[in-house]
């Protein structure tokens, strides 16, 4: 073995004395701890505040709501339809009728095929 299996005692003792003699807070003892505990949080806070300001400026340039005539047309469209509420859109018939029926038919056909195969001994291992 070229390396000792553990750190020599004098090295540990020197490090221990170094940290015990420092009169700083425990979170500011290492050479890079000032960066991690002071500079980075301040940078994150400044970035967050600048992003909030940017978002507020961006929102102010857009119109605050949808035009009334568009809302009025949509409202009349949905109030004049005499169908169920779940069948109002053009593709709602597909999503609320055709897909569930297809799933039910598929499930029943698979169950029937399994019963047929079991009753005739198809796929049975010997």
Q: Domain locations in the chain? A: 9-61, 68-120
Task: Check if the beta carbon of residue 37 is closer than 8 Å to that of residue 47.
Answer: no
What distance in Å separates the CA atoms of residue 19 and residue 22, rounded to the nearest whole number?
A: 6
Per-residue pLDDT of the chain (126 residues; tens, 9 = 90+): 566 666 677 877 787 777 777 666 665 666 666 666 677 778 888 888 888 776 666 665 666 677 788 888 888 887 777 766 666 677 777 777 888 999 999 999 999 999 999 999 888 887
Measured at the CA of 62, the angle between CA 58 and CA 63, to 5 degrees, comes to 155
CA distance 95 to 21: 73
């Amino acid at each position: 073995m070229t390396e000792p299996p553990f750190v020599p005692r004098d090295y540990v003792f020197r490090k221990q004395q170094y940290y015990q003699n420092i009169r700083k807070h425990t979170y500011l003892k290492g050479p890079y701890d000032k960066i991690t505990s002071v500079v980075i949080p301040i940078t994150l806070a400044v970035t967050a505040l600048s992003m909030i300001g940017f978002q507020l400026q961006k929102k102010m340039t857009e119109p605050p709501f949808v035009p009334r005539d568009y809302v009025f047309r949509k409202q009349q469209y949905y109030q004049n339809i005499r169908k169920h509420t779940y069948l109002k859109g053009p593709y709602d018939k597909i999503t609320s009728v055709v897909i569930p029926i297809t799933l039910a038919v598929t499930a029943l056909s698979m169950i029937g095929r399994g019963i047929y195969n079991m009753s005739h001994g198809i796929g049975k291992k010997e």
